[in-house]
Amino acid sequence: MRILVVEDEPRLAETLTQLLRDGGYEADTVEDGLRGLELAQKGTYGLLVLDVMLPGLDGFGVCRALREKGKSVPILMLTARTQVADKVAGLDCGADDYMTKPFAPEELLARVRALTRRQGESPAQELAFADVRLDAAAHTLSRGERSVQLSPKEFELLRLLMERAGSVCSKGMILERLWGGEPAEDNNVEAYVSFLRKKLFYLDARTTVVNLRKVGYRLEDGEKA
Binding site for Ca ion (CB under 5 A): 8, 51, 53
CB of 211 to Ca ion, least distance (A): 50
Give the type of residue at 136: A
Integer angstrom CA distances of residue 62 from 58, 74, 94, 116, 163: 6, 13, 10, 19, 36
Which are the contacts of 179, defined by CB distance < 8 A and separation ≥ 6?
188
CB of 185 to Ca ion, least distance (A): 57
Q: Which is nearer to Ca ion, 101 or 218 (CB)?
A: 101
Q: Which is nearer to Ca ion, 9 or 131 (CB)?
A: 9
Query: Rounded to the nearest whole angstrom, what is the least distance from the CB of residue 62 to Ca ion in the complex?
Result: 12
Instruction: Rank residues 63 and 127 by Cβ distance to Ca ion and give the closer one.
Output: 63
Residue least distant from Ca ion (Cβ): 53
Question: Least Å distance between CB 27 and Ca ion?
Answer: 17
For Ca ion, the closer of residues 7 and 96 by Cβ is 7
8 Å CB contact between 179 and 188 = yes
Q: For residues 127 and 104, give the distance between their C-alpha atoms in angstroms, rounded to a whole number.
A: 32
Contact residues for 94 (Cβ-Cβ < 8 A; gap 6+): 63, 64, 66, 67, 75
